[in-house]
Amino acid sequence: MVAPLRVGIAGLGTVGAAVVRLIEEQARTLSARSGRGIRVVAVTARSKAKKRTLHLRGIDWVKSPLALANDPRIDCFVELMGGSGEPALSAIEAALKNGKSVVTANKALIAKHGLRLARAAEKHGGALNFEAAVGAAIPVIKTLREGLAGTGVNRVYGILNGTCNYILTRMEQEGLSFAECLKDAQRLGYAEANPSFDVDGHDTAQKLAILASLAFGTKVAQSAVYVEGISSIAPEDLRAADELGYRVKLLGVAVRTPKGIEQRVHPTMVPKSSSIAQVMGVTNAVTIDGEGIPAITLVGPGAGGAATASAVVADIADVARGIRAKPFGRPVDRLRDTKKAPMERHEGGYYIRLMARDLPGTVAKIATRLAKEKISLESVVQRHPEGVDATDAAKKASPVPVILITYATSEDAIHRALEAVQRDKVISGRPQVIRIEKN
């Protein structure tokens, strides 16, 4: 009988507490599956005095994350404190240098310092597992790292932030504004008091950077990700999308192009018939386009204490079973530098909503500007406000929405054309532009 794996947990918030409970409840199953027992022997957290429902009988309290990482009684250091820097970084590094394995749910840290930590893990022989960092219980890291070990990946994209998807779902289904839905999300605990990290796309960008590294064998590089959030999306965009057969989702997309790896986070129109379009509310989903095979989509809870704990415990079980995968799928020395494809050269279809002055020739002027940039239009819809007939509107020259869907073109061309349209003074306000992602 192999000795049990001795686990130390730093951080006893919702996830940490759920991990302690799950390891206790599933003790028999875990030992059957891993071939050895798994025991939490020590923990640490910010406040020892804090009231917890969790029983810590038989578990030692250690004074700091670093002390826990250096504690010779543990084999596996589980970091559930969060934060892209200290004290998590030094503690994880110390644990790895001691030859221990590390399990973490910390996407910010892995996106920022993942390479340095992976190098330490490789050098000293421990595992560095972070399944919970992306998509919680959805086994997307394992799928990219092991399940598609022999298959090249052309594109990986997904809904990686439940807050944004919740807001977009409510906006679409109830015709509400972004601000109203954000307030509801905050009330329900789906969004933070400071929602910027989620709604401006940074959370998605960190997760995408990790997935891109695993998918393409490149160095994780959050700075290579182009980021746009969802705050500018209006109910009329969702309505127009619906009529055109699309839904709007905040996607993280990493794709191999002739110009390099494109990594981008932005509101995206996806065909209603695609798997990703069906994903509603706080649910997350990731689609992987492997070379020569149809897409694989993984759907499930992307956050929450129990779902995150499920992934953390699976990672611990892998450590117990003696699995030592390369953290990013390959040795750090074999990871290539990310050749960042410039966003200006992105190619795809675009949705454009303009508030055009309702005067004769306006649409013609707009179309001319687009034609000059060789942008072909799939559809043009000019909407007159309901209940007002064209002549009245024309008289008042009040702006009416014009919605354009383009065939594939470049980001550059779109920018130049829209700048020209603005110079023509035939529209009011800024154009709304949403990229289209086909499956």
Which is closer to a copy of itself, CB of 27 or CB of 380? 27
Q: Can you tell me the distance from the alpha carbon of 62 to that of 126, in angstroms, rounded to the nearest whole number?
A: 22
Backbone angles phi, psi at 281, to 5 degrees: 65, -145
Single residue of 115, 304, 347, 373 touching a copy of itself by CB under 8 A:
304
Q: List, in sequence order, every residue forming a beta bridge with 40; answer none if it has no partner.
A: 7
Piece of 185-193, 204-212, 329-337, 430-438 that binds a copy of itself (CB under 8 A): 329-337
Q: Which stretch binds a copy of itself (CB under 8 A): 51-59, 189-197, 231-239, 319-327?
A: 319-327
Lay out the site mask for a copy of itself across 85-124 (x = CB under 8 A, - = otherwise): ----------------------------------------
Q: H helices of 46-99, where?
A: 65-69, 88-97
Of 141-200, binders to a copy of itself (CB under 8 A) are 142-143, 145-152
Report, in Å, the least distance between residue 322 CB and a copy of itself.
8
> Given candidates 72, 189, 292, 360, which one binds a copy of itself under the rule CB under 8 A?
292
The verdict on 29 binding a copy of itself (CB under 8 A) reads yes
* Pick from 281, 302, 264, 275: nearest CA to 165: 281
DSSP helix/strand/coil, 294: coil
Cβ partners under 8 Å of residue 244, min gap 6: 269, 351, 379, 403, 405
Size of the site for a copy of itself (CB under 8 A): 56
Residue 305 makes CB contacts below 8 A (sequence gap 6+) with 14, 15, 17, 18
Give every CB contact of residue 280 below 8 A, 6+ residues apart in sequence: 165, 169
**Helical ranges in 137-296 per DSSP H:** 140-142, 162-174, 178-187, 196-199, 202-216, 235-244
3-state DSSP helix/strand/coil % of the chain, to nearest 5:
40, 25, 35
Site string for a copy of itself, 262-291 (x = CB under 8 A): -------------x--x----x------x-
Q: Is 354 exposed, middle or buried (0-12, 13-18, 19+ CB in 10 A)?
A: buried
Residue recorded with tokens 């969802």: 230
Q: Which of 112, 207, 219, 249 is catalytic?
A: 207
Stretch touching a copy of itself by CB under 8 A, among 28-36, 219-227, 246-254, 386-394: 28-36
Q: Which is nearer to a copy of itself, 178 or 216 (CB)?
A: 216
C-beta of 292: minimal distance to a copy of itself in Å? 5
β-strand pairing of 347-357 with 427-436: antiparallel
Q: Which of 4, 37, 300, 349 binds a copy of itself (CB under 8 A)?
A: 300
Piece of the chain touching a copy of itself by CB under 8 A; list 193-201, 326-334, 392-400, 427-435: 326-334
217 forms part of the interface with a copy of itself (CB under 8 A): yes
Q: CB nearer to a copy of itself: give 321 or 430.
A: 321
| Whether residue 327 has a cis bond before it, omega within 30° of 0 | no
Residue closer to a copy of itself (CB basis): 231 or 278: 278
d(C-alpha 420, C-alpha 418), whole Å = 5
Do residues 421 and 357 make contact, with C-beta atoms less than 8 angstroms apart?
A: no
Write out the two tokens for 162: 């439940």
Q: If binding is defined by CB under 8 A, does position 296 make contact with a copy of itself? A: yes
207 is catalytic: yes
Indicate whether 32 belongs to the interface with a copy of itself (CB under 8 A).
yes
The region of 200-208, 300-308, 375-383, 389-397 touching a copy of itself under the rule CB under 8 A is 300-308
Active site residues per annotation:
207
Question: Residues in the site for a copy of itself, rule: CB under 8 A?
Answer: 22-23, 26, 29-30, 32-35, 131, 137-139, 142-143, 145-152, 217, 275, 278, 283, 290, 292-301, 304, 306-307, 310-311, 313-314, 316-318, 321, 323, 325-326, 329-331, 334
